[in-house]
Amino acid sequence: MRKTIFKKMEAQGLIANYNRLRKNLPPKLPDRVYMVDETFREGLKAPMVFLTYVEKLKLAKMMDDSGMSVINVGFPGLSEDEKRSVKRIVNESFVNATLTASSAATKAHVDACLDVGMREVNIEAPINGLNLQYRLKMCKEEAIKRIVESVEYAKKHGITANFVLSDGSRTPLEDILAVFEAAAAAGASKLAIADTVGFLRPLSMRYLMSHVRDGLSEEVKSKVPLSVHCHNDFGLATANTLASVEEGATYLHTTLIGFGERAGLAPFEEVVTTLELLYNIDTGVDMERVYRLAQLTEKSFALPIQFHKPIVGDNTFTHEVDEHVEGMLQHPLMFEPFPPEIVGRETSLFVGRNTGQTLLQGLLEKAGIRASPRQIDEILRHVKGPQESLDKGEAQMTFYQIKKLLKDLQKGLVLPEFWRLVEQVTRQKPKMPHPGEGGGKTLTPVTT
């Protein structure tokens, strides 16, 4: 249904669809893309978010049932707890999804992935000047050598190795091509560019991906697919992911509802629905499960979905009866971009404060009900009364109490509090000043 509904309306002359104009279809657009879920890698970086093993397993199983191509189950090399958690997931059976795990470009981190039984690994590393100088403390040649050795080491031990270039969107093009060629020669099966701080505009992303694609050797272009990992710091993660697809990227990193560190990653439901409906690209996803997956994610993370969130927000297919909805009663697509059943939802109409007397009378007449003006006034009083009598101040107070409770659930110790705790327990004063108390530097976490 989702593939034909717009074509039927176009054929009937009811709508114009500029998405289908030949001049608007990029020549490198793939027929099929593969969704790579990063929720257990990136989503859990939201401050102090915690999932029980049962919650992780339920989400992973539903992702698998929904047609997710790849699930990143975590970063085994980070800690023993993470290693144990990843191992439990790996020991489960999955039908559709391939499992992968993240690894730094070191043999120790690759070994951690081998220890838990991973058959695929994403080796992540940056090579731009900022990271080389302030984080890795090494030259570019040494960083590339470590990447090559890590890929070769993983391949030697019989597992698929992919390479993710951290902060790739702020790395010079010639360096991207050099490290991609080196990683591919070492045996990397996929090459990914990470827009680690969500820094690119969509047109800039198209420029970068097209020049990377065209700059690679013919052998690498033909054998190694391109992947993309877009953060949402400027609210452009979905747009940048789609821009990458327009230049031929086929493995797309997303997270459920876009959850993740800072502003999160490209939201799964936005990317999948847009590709399926506006680009007519097969994602392999069972679209009817999109909303159920979002609801389970909201419950597991204890983080509410915004009411106005595209695709899965409560308000997305909800309409108050007014002049506009009068048209929707004739045809639902009048004010909805696609039938909500496609993503497992339904349209919800309600009568509220903005519903006028004439509209209400028309609504009743269509239902075969004749009401006098006095009866219509009484119905409207019952409709509007609860809203008008609501104590908004009390509602706002309750809202902020709930918001504070959610923050408390997520909150750990800010660094000044942490160092005070360390000093109290060890009786030793830290040699560096607390961040924000004299210009001390914070540690930069490993991130893509």
Is a pLDDT exceeding 60 seen at residue 443? no
Q: Between 97 and 348, where is the model more confident?
A: 97
What is the pLDDT, as a whole number, of residue 113? 98
Helix residue ranges per DSSP H, 116-172: 129-131, 140-156
181-207 pLDDT, tens digit per residue, is: 999 999 999 999 999 999 999 999 999
Is a pLDDT exceeding 60 seen at residue 444? no
Q: Supply the DSSP symbol for 282.
A: B
* 134 Cα distance to chain centroid: 28
- Output the CA–CA distances (angstroms, integers) from residue 421 to 415, 417, 442, 444, in the order listed: 10, 6, 17, 21
Instruction: Return phi, psi of residue 49, to 5°.
Output: -65, 140
**What does pLDDT average to over the chain?**
90
Distance from C-alpha of 40 to C-alpha of 353, rounded to nearest angstrom = 43
Return the CA Rg of the chain. 26
320-347 pLDDT, tens digit per residue, is: 877 667 777 778 888 899 999 999 999 9
Which pLDDT band holds residue 106 (cuts at 50, 70, 90)? very high
382-401 pLDDT, tens digit per residue, is: 887 766 666 778 878 888 88
Instruction: Return phi, psi of residue 29, to 5°.
Output: -65, 125
What are the DSSP calls for 162-182, one per residue?
A: EEEETTGGGS-HHHHHHHHHH
What is the pLDDT, as a whole number, of residue 324? 65
The mean per-residue pLDDT over the stretch 71-94 comes to: 96
Instruction: Return phi, psi of residue 70, to 5°.
Output: -135, 140
378 Cβ neighbours under 8 A, 6+ residues apart: none
What is the pLDDT, as a whole number, of residue 229? 98
Which pLDDT band holds residue 162 (cuts at 50, 70, 90)? very high
Is a pLDDT exceeding 80 seen at residue 133? yes
Helix or strand (DSSP H, E) at 158: none
Instruction: Return phi, psi of residue 336, to 5°.
Output: -130, 135
Which pLDDT band holds residue 2 (cuts at 50, 70, 90)? low
Is a pLDDT exceeding 90 seen at residue 140? yes
Which pLDDT band holds residue 41 (cuts at 50, 70, 90)? very high
Q: Which of 101-105, 268-272, 290-294, 368-372 is least confident? A: 368-372
The mean per-residue pLDDT over the stretch 248-257 comes to: 98
What is the pLDDT, as a whole number, of residue 389? 62
Tokens of 268: 């799964």
Instruction: Return phi, psi of residue 387, to 5°.
Output: -70, -45
Question: Whose structure tokens read 């189950």?
Answer: 73
Is a pLDDT exceeding 70 seen at residue 445? no
Is a pLDDT exceeding 80 seen at residue 160? yes
Question: Whose structure tokens read 């004063």?
Answer: 429
Query: CB of 182 within 8 A of CB of 141?
Result: no
Which pLDDT band holds residue 3 (cuts at 50, 70, 90)? low
The mean per-residue pLDDT over the stretch 285-300 comes to: 97
What is the pLDDT, as a whole number, of residue 442? 38
Domains and CATH numbers, the chain: 27-301 (3.20.20.70), 318-392 (no CATH), 411-441 (no CATH)
What is the pLDDT, as a whole number, of residue 448? 62
Instruction: Return phi, psi of residue 228, to 5°.
Output: -140, 145
